[in-house]
Each structure stands twice: as C-alpha cells, then as structure tokens.
A = this chain, B = another copy of it.
Amino acid sequence: MEIKIGILTASDRASAGVYKDLSGQAIIDTLNDYLSSSWTEIYEVVPDTQESIENALIRMADKDGCCLIVTTGGTGPAKRDVTPEATESVCDKMMPGFGELMRQVSLKYVPTAILSRQTAGIRNKTLIINLPGKPKSIRECLDAVFPAVPYCIDLLEGPYIECNEEVIKPFRPKK
C-alpha cells in the first residue's frame, strides 16, 4: 500500500504568493527525517477560509487517498483562524489527545501556547492533525505526537509506516 501524506498550509499571504511557505516545507523536511518508508507528498497552500480548507482536506482524504494529513496555520484566536473548525467539520471522530499534548509541549516554551486551538480527527481512514504555524513549534509538536501516528494508521487499516528509529521511535503495542 502506497504511503501518501497530505501537507496543507492555510495562509492568506502564502497562497497569494506574498511570502514563501516555510511552514509547509518544515513539515516535509521533518517527515523526510522521520520516515524510512518511501512516501509521496500531496502538498497544497490555500487561503484562510473554512471552505477552502475543508475542500482541500476532503480532496486529500477521499480523492488522493492520504493516510495522514498535517495542516499548518489558522489555529490561533484571530478572526481568520478557522483550521480547527474546518477539521472538525470534515471528521467523523475527534482525537482530543493530540491537541492536549501539543499544547502541553508548547507550554514549556511559551505561555501563549494555550491560545493554540490545534486538534486532530479522523475522516474515514485518514488521520488529520493540525500543527502550529511556526517551523520551530511544528517540529516540537511533531516530535511529541508522531510516535503514536504509525500505530494509529495501522488501526485505520492504512499502510505500514516505518521510521528512522534514531530520529523518532514509533510505538506499536504488542498484541
């Protein structure tokens, strides 16, 4: 089974070409570090509207068959921060543990971590995880939650993901 991973950047300015999307690139770099299995990236940059984020998530999950989608951007309290709402609206079930752990990790660095509304959820067989917007925080959050991701995708009957264990150690409980 092919491993396809969606990387979705929600950013008005990056999607308008006003600046380069460093966040999406940081996610791709991190996943290249983590995965020893070969994988295909489905990468998109969309403006900060709920509709465009929802449409991209649905496309990556249903049409492209991504087993995992990671988003960046749009998780703060500002008016155009609607990534968590878009995520919840396309998911069948929510995974509150991801947001809880990511906020807890970010709280070690900045007290404003509680302003992040990051969540995660499942649409059919696709795990969707919201990450923060800044490259440094992206890596901190992925380092915390990624060890649980390969087993989650096993449970969703997705492809078997193998990692560079000196970089990140995925955990699979013994039966």
Contact = CB atoms under 8 A, between A and B. Distances in A.
A34 interface: no
Interface residues of A, number: 41
Contact of A156 (B77, B113, B151, B152): B77
B107 A101 contact: yes
A148 B103 contact: no
A18 interface: no
5 contacts: A77-B93, A82-B93, A96-B99, A101-B107, A113-B148
A95 to B, nearest CB: 6
Contacts of A148: 111-115
Given A78-B156, A122-B77, A113 B99 contact: no
Interface string A107-123: 10011111111010010
Interface of A: 76-79, 81-82, 84-85, 93-101, 103-104, 107, 110-117, 119, 122, 127, 145, 147-148, 151-152, 155-156, 171-173
A156 B80 CA distance: 10
A110 B113 CA distance: 24
